[in-house]
Every structure is written in C-alpha cells, then in structure tokens.
Chains A and B, each alone.
Chain A
Amino acid sequence: MERDLPSDRFMELDAGDDDALLIQRIDSNEIIYCPPKRKYKLVGKYVMGDKLGEGSYGKVKECLDSTTLQRRAIKIMKRKTLRRIPNGDQNVQREIRLLRRLRHHNVISLYDVYHNEAKGKIYMVMEFCVTGLQEMLDRSKDKKLPIWQANKYFVQLVEGLEYLHSRGVVHKDIKPGNLLLTSDNMLKISDFGVAEQLDVLAGKDEITTSQGSPLFQPPEVAGGARVFSGFKVDVWSAGCTLYNLTSGKYPFEGENMFRLFENICEKPLVMPEELDPVLKTLLEGMLRKEPSERLSLNLVKSHDWCCKKHPRTEEEVSLGGDDDRHSISIVPYLRSNYYDSESEEELFTEHQLNESRNQAECKSEMSGTDLQETRGAHTKRRRRKPTSCISVKSITSCKQS
C-alpha cells in the first residue's frame, strides 16, 4: 500500500557532512520541533482548515466560506484513488448529481463542487457537522442512546427519508455512520454514494441493486432477489438503525457475510427484552422480512412511538463539544496569512512533547475520555495527536564528539 507522507515531515540533514551518514544516537532533548506551519490556502472562495477526517474516498477538511464566514466541510478526493475503488468515480458523480437537486433540513447540503484537473482532485463543499450518530454511540455507555434522544433523531431521520422518497431518491445505505449531526442537533442524512434516483415517470419504486452496509441490508437483498421495492429497503435499514440506537445491538449478526445474510433471511427477529412494548411494535413492523408486509414510511411516521412525547429521564449523550474539538480550526491559517512572522514560531523538543503527551494522557484517564477519540464527523478512523505534524528543524549536535 502506498501512502503519501506529509511533505513537511522530512528530516533536514546537513548535506555536506559525511558524518551524517553514520547512524547516530540522538538524545530526545536535542531534537527540536516546530509546530506545523498552517499555510493559508484557498479553494475557490473557501479558506482551508484542519483535517476533520479521512475515509476510503479521501479526506475531509474544515473550511470557511470567505464571503459569508460560514463554516463548511470540504471533501477532497483524488481521481487516482477513486479509480482504484470499484465504481468509485461513478459513485462520486452520482452523489454530486443527487445532492445538487436535494434541499431539506435533514439532508446534508452540497454548496459547491470544484475540479482541479491539474492536480486530479475533486472538492465537494458541504454543510459542517460536528459529529455523527456512530461516533456518539461509540462514546456512549452500552453503545446506545437514551430513548428520548433516539426518538429525537429517529423522527428527523424519518422526515429526511420521507423527503428523499418524495423526490424519488432511495438512499440504500441508512446507518448510524451516515447520519451526521450539526451543533444544533439537527440530523443530516449523508453519503449518497450508492443512492439511486428513480425515474420520475415510473410509477413504481422497483430497484435491482443495493450495495449498502451488510448489517443493515433487508432479506430481499441478502437473499438475492432480482427486483425489489427501493423504499422498503430504506425502511428496513432505518429499522436496524433504530434497533441499534435503542439497544446497542444489531437485529442480525453473523461471523461472516454468508452467515449474516443467511441469518437476515431465516432467523426470526429477536427483540431486546428491555424495550418498551410500543417501540417493539414499531421495530417489529419495520423489520418484517416480507417487504410488502413491512410498514410504509408513512405508517412509521404516524406510529405512536414517533408521535409520543418521551420524558427526558436518562442523561443525554452529548455531541462531544466539551473540549476544543468543536472550535473552529481556521484561525491559525488566517493568522499565518495576515500576521505572518517567523519570530512567533514556537519551538520545542521531543522531551517537552513527551511531557505534554503524558499530561494529556493523565488528564484523559481521569476524565474517562479516550484521547484517541475521533474528532470529525465525516470519518470513522482518525487519531488525534498533540501536534498534528512535526518537522525536525535542525540537529544541533549531531556531529560525533
């Protein structure tokens, strides 16, 4: 696997010095680091900020609309990478096409698309979200949300889905990982890479493919049906999502894909004991194996569990804004552009770095939060480092004494 090393992470060795070729032991105190240069960069009218996350398609950075000063997220993809993913390029084009035409408060907005042919990059500027449901689940106790909170998000999911379906869009990949949240707790359905636009003039919602996440696939897909109802696929996946949010479990599991699909098709649905009977009837209705018997979205929407006011009994799982994770990362970039001066640069040694690392770890152990928690909402795996990148400025005493 090839991986691009950040260009600012190389060692500047004294070129003319023969001794530098020998292996030397350097005391950590003697290596001097400087914080990463935050170079001001514009893509279109957007000022680029820190990386929020990374996925198989590319990375997501925070950015700032320089004309309106609104925070946005920018998805950056390389054509080269896309070509290596099956249907990669096609999926991105599809997502762009679909999102351009969609406008709803529970569907992620796409504001701008840029192509940089020279660099072979595609940029998608989208709504900024602070976190996603999967991330919140990972952080929560027992990997589930309080009922009232799950209800709050689920109702929004249904609203967003209703809109998508009314526009003839089948999402096909509804799962907590694709449901993002803004800082004001609005749920945004995202990732339209495998979604499908139905023909306006076709009266039916028949589709023939579904490539969403296996755990959330309905029996008709797992069983390999040739043609099936698209909307009912989304209802099933939304049902799995609700099951997952409220119980921390998945309705069907399996040690491998084959077993999983077999279980989805054949195993009877087992309800988590602790759920209340009204919620159970909703889940049971959404997870009926036979698509024609499965609840329609409209029935889901008017189900008692959705209409009911749920008392706030358990404590909320927060969006995770208790540290600086949600503060805007653009400022240093702006500063470097407008007030640039080398003198302000802070240099520090590895020793100091380790110290601060240890301190941070102690702190996080005490507060019980994981230091390596993911920050951005737009990806699953991302490690946070005390300094995001480091460069060895100069090695002062590397000559043999």
Chain B
Amino acid sequence: MSLFRKSPKSPQEVSKALKDALTALERSDKKAEKVSGKAQEDTSKSLTQIKTMLYGTSDSEPQDIVLAQLAHEFYNSNMLLLLIHNLHRIDFEGKKDVAQIFNNILRRQIGIRSPTVEYICTKPEILFTLMKGYEHQDIALHCGTMLRECARYEALTRIILYSDDFYNFFKYVEVSTFDIASDAFSTFKELLTKHKMLCAEFLEQNYDRVFTQYEHLLNSENYVTRRQSLKLLGELLLDRHNFSVMKRYISNPDNLKLMMIMLKEKSRNIQFEAFHVFKVFVANPDKPRPILEILLRNQDKLVEFLTRFHTDRSEDEQFNDEKAYLIKQIKELKPLPPDQ
C-alpha cells in the first residue's frame, strides 16, 4: 500500500473505530477525573470521516451504497444512542458533527419508508435521552436540534408526546439560561403544532394534565415565558383541529379570569395576545352560566376597559371590528334568571 495514499476506510471500519473510541472515552471518563485526550481525538477523527461519507466533499458526492452500509452499521451497533449518551464527553466541533450525522441518518429514505424513523421507534430511549439533554448546559442546544428533526416525523412525535418525560418541557422552557429556554420552547411548540391531528388527539386525551401545567407557564415570573406561552395558547385554541379543546377551555371560568388579568398586564404585547383568547370566551354562543356570571359582574367595567383598549391600533381594521363586536356583545348581556 502506498504510504501517501491512504485507502478510504469502509463504513464498517469507521463505525467500529468510532465505537471503540467512544467506549474508551466513556471508560476513561468514569475511571479518572479527566477525559482522555487520545480517546477524544480518535472520536473526533471518526466523526469527521463519517460526516464526509454522509455529506460528501466538494469533489465527491456521497454514495448510496456507502450510506446504506453505514446506516446498517449504526443500527446494529446501537450507535445513535451511544453517541447521544456520550455527547457531553465529545469536544465542541465533534458535538456539532454528531448532530449533523444524526439528522442526516434520520432523514434517510427508501421509497416511502424512513428506516431510521422505524429504528428509533423500536429504541425510544434515544428520544428520552435527547430530551434529558436539556438538563445539561453543554449539550442542550445540540440535543434540541436533533429533537426538532425528530419532531418532523409523526411516529416519533407521538412517542415523545405520550411519554412522561414530555412534561419536563414545562420545566425546560423556564430554565434561567435564556438560549436554552428559548430553544426548549421552540421544540415544545414544534411538538404541539406540527402534526395537527396527532396534537389534537393528544391534547384532548391529556387535557387536564397539560393545561394544569400550562397555567404555570402563563403565571410565570418570567416575562418571556408568559408572553410566548400566551401566544402559543392563542395559536393552539384558534387552530380548528383543536376545536373541542378550545370549547373545553373557554367553558372554564378560571381560564376566563386568568385572561382578564392578562388583559390588564403592563406589557402591551401580552394585553394584545390576551385579547385574542379573551374574545373567544365572549363570542361563544353558548356560554356556560359561570362564564356569564363573571362577564355580567364586570359588564360595565369591561365595556369601559375595552372602549379604551389599544385605541392607537386604528390601522388594524379587523382588531377594531372585533373589539366593537365584543363591546356590543357584553353590553347586550341580559341578567341571568336567579339560580334554581
């Protein structure tokens, strides 16, 4: 073999090398306090080689046969889970490579089949480990990227939504590190909005659990959390797929109270978002008695409040029409017959 021209390694060889390097990395980390430099170097090298195989270089296109072999090796050796488990031990560039490799293998398609998606369905631990990634600062964003890629597939989203770990998101979106919290929020939003039918079914079945937790977000100390979650709430409720969830939400007087408090928030943005949820309570043609009672009790105050509400939005015709409609509706509310 020529000394200068290294023959390109086969997918089998590279994945074996990567696996060995990762195992060494894991072992050295557990034994000593410090991560072995050699193992880390080997890992990065293998990752770069694999990335080249998957994405090709400027003068060589990736080959289908190599991709198939590589994917096969990855499934057989449980490589995806191994990579994610050891993600925090891999150096900075290597972490980015892992995310890219993961996403590429995930997108793999044969005809109408997505073999990696099918594979992950049998190994849901991969998804749970990715979610747990939000608890570790140094890998949170990489895991976020991979999770959102997973969220593109309905089958994987289903596993995530119906797992107990999903409810950790209510914690993650509020962590003190801003970039992690907002990354977690965008994943959270993706999971709840991407696959409409699935999400509607999930919200209906888990209404109480989800919305009890959701209320904490709306009452958060953190302005960004409050604002983002209120906006998402509006989007969820006004999505026609979630019609029955919306009907349920707007018949609960506590929710109405919360929205009325938010209408009076200091932030104009929050006021405006709250308006779009509040309007549905009022427009509801069959308002339950408790809702009517609240509206009636505050009838005059609400009319006065709405009349002076965001009067500078003169160019937004729809908003003004809606506001006028609400004022009219509230004005025309008839006192309830006494309770029997």
Give the CA-CA distance A302 to B153 in the complex, in Å: 11
Cβ contact within 8 Å between B196 and A162: yes
Which of these binds chain A: B92-100, B133-141, B234-242, B300-308? Answer: B234-242
Residues of chain B contacted by A165 (CB below 8 angstroms): 240
Residues of chain B contacted by A37 (CB below 8 angstroms): none
Cβ contact within 8 Å between B196 and A309: no
Cβ contact within 8 Å between B240 and A101: no
* A371 CB, nearest partner CB in chain B, Å: 38
Give the CA-CA distance A113 to B243 in the complex, in Å: 32
B337 at the interface (CB under 8 A from A): no
Residues of chain B contacted by A309 (CB below 8 angstroms): 109-112
B316 at the interface (CB under 8 A from A): yes
Give the CA-CA distance A166 to B197 in the complex, in Å: 10
B317 at the interface (CB under 8 A from A): yes
Give the CA-CA distance A278 to B13 in the complex, in Å: 40
Which of these binds chain B: A60-68, A76-84, A196-204, A285-293? Answer: A196-204
* A185 CB, nearest partner CB in chain B, Å: 18
Give the CA-CA distance A156 to B246 in the complex, in Å: 28
B294 at the interface (CB under 8 A from A): no
**Given A97-B318, A100-B318, A309-B111, also A168-B285 (CB < 8 A):** no
Cβ contact within 8 Å between B111 and A308: yes
Residues of chain B contacted by A205 (CB below 8 angstroms): 240
Give the CA-CA distance A93 to B317 in the complex, in Å: 9
Cβ contact within 8 Å between A167 and B243: no
* A370 CB, nearest partner CB in chain B, Å: 35
B280 at the interface (CB under 8 A from A): yes
Give the CA-CA distance A167 to B238 in the complex, in Å: 7
Give the CA-CA distance A331 to B245 in the complex, in Å: 52
B283: which of A162, A200, A304 is its contact (CB, 8 Å)? A200
B329 at the interface (CB under 8 A from A): no
B284 at the interface (CB under 8 A from A): yes
Residues of chain A contacted by B238 (CB below 8 angstroms): 167-168, 200
Q: Within B126-182, which residues are at the interface with A (CB < 8 Å)?
A: 154
* B154 CB, nearest partner CB in chain A, Å: 8
Interface string of B219-253 (1 = CB under 8 A from A): 00000000000000000001111010010000000
Interface bin, chain A: 20 to 34
Give the CA-CA distance A101 to B322 in the complex, in Å: 13
Give the CA-CA distance A302 to B284 in the complex, in Å: 33
Cβ contact within 8 Å between A198 and B316: no
Q: Within A298-335, which residues are at the interface with B (CB < 8 Å)?
A: 298, 302, 304, 307-309
* A132 CB, nearest partner CB in chain B, Å: 27
A200: which of B111, B112, B280, B316 is its contact (CB, 8 Å)? B280
Residues of chain A contacted by B112 (CB below 8 angstroms): 304, 307-309
Residues of chain A contacted by B239 (CB below 8 angstroms): 166-167
**Given A100-B316, A304-B112, A308-B112, also A298-B197 (CB < 8 A):** yes
Residues of chain B contacted by A307 (CB below 8 angstroms): 112
Q: Within A156-185, which residues are at the interface with B (CB < 8 Å)?
A: 162, 165-168
Cβ contact within 8 Å between A166 and B318: no
A166: which of B110, B111, B240, B315 is its contact (CB, 8 Å)? B240
Cβ contact within 8 Å between A166 and B280: no
Cβ contact within 8 Å between B197 and A168: no
Q: Within A80-101, which residues are at the interface with B (CB < 8 Å)?
A: 93, 96-97, 100-101
Interface bin, chain B: 20 to 34
B241, closest chain A residue (CB): A166
* A92 CB, nearest partner CB in chain B, Å: 12
Interface centre among A100, A201, A203, A302 (most CB of B within 10 A): A201
Cβ contact within 8 Å between B240 and A201: no
Residues of chain B contacted by A166 (CB below 8 angstroms): 196, 239-241
A112, closest chain B residue (CB): B315
Cβ contact within 8 Å between B196 and A198: no
Residues of chain B contacted by A167 (CB below 8 angstroms): 238-240
Give the CA-CA distance A168 to B235 in the complex, in Å: 12
Give the CA-CA distance A198 to B283 in the complex, in Å: 14
B108, closest chain A residue (CB): A309
Residues of chain B contacted by A203 (CB below 8 angstroms): 243
* B259 CB, nearest partner CB in chain A, Å: 15
* B110 CB, nearest partner CB in chain A, Å: 8
Residues of chain A contacted by B197 (CB below 8 angstroms): 298
Give the CA-CA distance A165 to B109 in the complex, in Å: 29
Give the CA-CA distance A113 to B317 in the complex, in Å: 12
* B278 CB, nearest partner CB in chain A, Å: 13
Residues of chain A contacted by B111 (CB below 8 angstroms): 308-309
A201: which of B280, B315, B317 is its contact (CB, 8 Å)? B280
Cβ contact within 8 Å between A101 and B318: yes
Interface string of B101-116 (1 = CB under 8 A from A): 0000000011110000
Residues of chain B contacted by A200 (CB below 8 angstroms): 238, 246, 280, 283
Give the CA-CA distance A162 to B193 in the complex, in Å: 12
Interface centre among B154, B240, B315, B317 (most CB of A within 10 A): B240
Give the CA-CA distance A100 to B317 in the complex, in Å: 10
Residues of chain A contacted by B246 (CB below 8 angstroms): 200
Residues of chain B contacted by A101 (CB below 8 angstroms): 318
Cβ contact within 8 Å between A168 and B316: no
Cβ contact within 8 Å between A201 and B318: no
**Given A167-B238, A167-B239, also A97-B317 (CB < 8 A):** yes
* A234 CB, nearest partner CB in chain B, Å: 13
Q: Within B291-340, which residues are at the interface with A (CB < 8 Å)?
A: 315-318
B285: which of A100, A162, A201, A304 is its contact (CB, 8 Å)? A201
* B235 CB, nearest partner CB in chain A, Å: 9
* A125 CB, nearest partner CB in chain B, Å: 13
Give the CA-CA distance A96 to B110 in the complex, in Å: 43
Residues of chain A contacted by B316 (CB below 8 angstroms): 100
Residues of B that sit less than 8 Å from A by CB: 109-112, 154, 196-197, 238-241, 243, 246, 280, 283-285, 315-318
Apart from the given pairs A167-B240, A201-B284, 20 other A-B contacts in the complex at a CB distance below 8 Å: A93-B317, A97-B318, A100-B316, A100-B318, A113-B315, A162-B196, A165-B240, A166-B196, A166-B240, A168-B238, A168-B240, A198-B240, A200-B283, A201-B280, A203-B243, A298-B197, A307-B112, A309-B109, A309-B111, A309-B112
A-B contact pairs, 5 of them (CB 8 A): A167-B240, A200-B280, A201-B284, A201-B285, A304-B112
| Nearest 5 A/B pairs, CB to CB | A309-B109, A308-B112, A166-B239, A307-B112, A304-B112
